[in-house]
């Protein structure tokens, strides 16, 4: 348990000192900014298309953080330390995912509030968009852990990670867009929570299996 806490703190500290959520949020807001430039500033059009596009921008922002997630650990030997630790690798990876979600996912969900308002989402729907994105980024991180671990040994694997991980982003996006669109919100939120739990449970297992191979 202490090892997990230490791993969580270490990763969180590393992510914060590396700029934290600054770059992903900047990317997220920049991508959101392009939406009205591309679609034109018409209110009704933005109100229907804006919130789903916030979801896409958030998915891409999470994607952009994945490439270096395990590569640094692989290069500097931290991964070997994780492997010989008595704590199970799966849980250490889960701690890393939790740190990534705290450093990137949660700030992204909060930043989605102002972004959605700027894209003309109705004010009363903003809290539910934030909650749904907090769940959705957790699902993205879970799937992203596996994708990042599988490609950790590949130099310049950014596009490859995207290709591998994007299909797994489909289910949370489907139900996240349903929440953002205001249709059947409770059911969609519950399924979204299910996606997040499944990704948090299965992602670390697949990632740990891949990391054991990477370290050989």
Give residues in contact with other proteins (CB under 8 A). 146, 150-151, 153-154, 157, 160, 163-164, 166-168, 170-171, 202, 206, 209-210, 213-214, 216
Cβ closest to other proteins, residue 35 vs residue 148? 148
Tokens matching residue 118: 């700027």
Cβ closest to other proteins, residue 130 vs residue 166? 166
Q: Helix, strand, coil: what percent of the chain each, to 5?
A: 85, 0, 15
- Give CA–CA dist 176/161, Å, rounded: 22
**Shortest separation between residue 98's beta carbon and other proteins, angstroms:** 20
**Shortest separation between residue 84's beta carbon and other proteins, angstroms:** 20
Q: Are 145 and 96 a contacting pair, CB within 8 Å?
A: yes
Tokens matching residue 210: 């891949």
**Shortest separation between residue 4's beta carbon and other proteins, angstroms:** 23
In eight-state DSSP terms, residue 184 is: S
Cβ closest to other proteins, residue 26 vs residue 80? 80
Cβ closest to other proteins, residue 3 vs residue 160? 160
- Give CA–CA dist 97/7, Å, rounded: 10
**Shortest separation between residue 150's beta carbon and other proteins, angstroms:** 5
**Shortest separation between residue 78's beta carbon and other proteins, angstroms:** 20
Cβ closest to other proteins, residue 107 vs residue 204? 204
Burial class (CB in 10 A: 0-12, 13-18, 19+), 88: middle
**Shortest separation between residue 200's beta carbon and other proteins, angstroms:** 14
Radius of gyration of the chain (CA): 17
Smallest CA-to-CA distance from 59 within 18, 99, 105, 94 is with: 105
Q: Are 71 and 152 a contacting pair, CB within 8 Å?
A: yes
Cβ closest to other proteins, residue 9 vs residue 48? 48
Q: Are 116 and 53 a contacting pair, CB within 8 Å?
A: no
């Amino acid at each position: 348990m202490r090892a997990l806490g230490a791993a969580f703190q270490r990763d969180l500290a590393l992510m914060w000192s590396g700029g934290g959520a600054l770059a992903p949020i900047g990317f997220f807001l920049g991508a959101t900014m392009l939406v009205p430039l591309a679609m034109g500033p018409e209110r009704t059009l933005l109100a229907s298309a804006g919130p789903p596009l916030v979801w896409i921008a958030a998915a891409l922002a999470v994607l952009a953080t994945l490439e270096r997630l395990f590569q640094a650990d692989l290069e500097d030997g931290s991964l070997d330390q994780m492997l010989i630790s008595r704590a199970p690798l799966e849980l250490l990876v889960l701690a890393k995912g939790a740190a990534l979600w705290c450093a990137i996912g949660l700030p992204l969900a909060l930043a989605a509030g102002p972004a959605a308002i700027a894209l003309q989402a109705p004010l009363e729907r903003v809290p539910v968009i934030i909650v749904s994105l907090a769940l959705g980024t957790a699902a993205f991180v879970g799937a992203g852990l596996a994708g990042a671990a599988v490609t950790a040994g590949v130099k310049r694997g950014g596009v490859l990670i995207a290709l591998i991980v994007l299909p797994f982003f489909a289910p949370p996006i489907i139900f996240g867009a349903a929440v953002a669109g205001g249709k059947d919100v409770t059911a969609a939120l519950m399924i979204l929570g299910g996606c997040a739990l499944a990704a948090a449970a299965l992602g670390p297992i697949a990632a740990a299996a891949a990391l054991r191979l990477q370290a050989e």
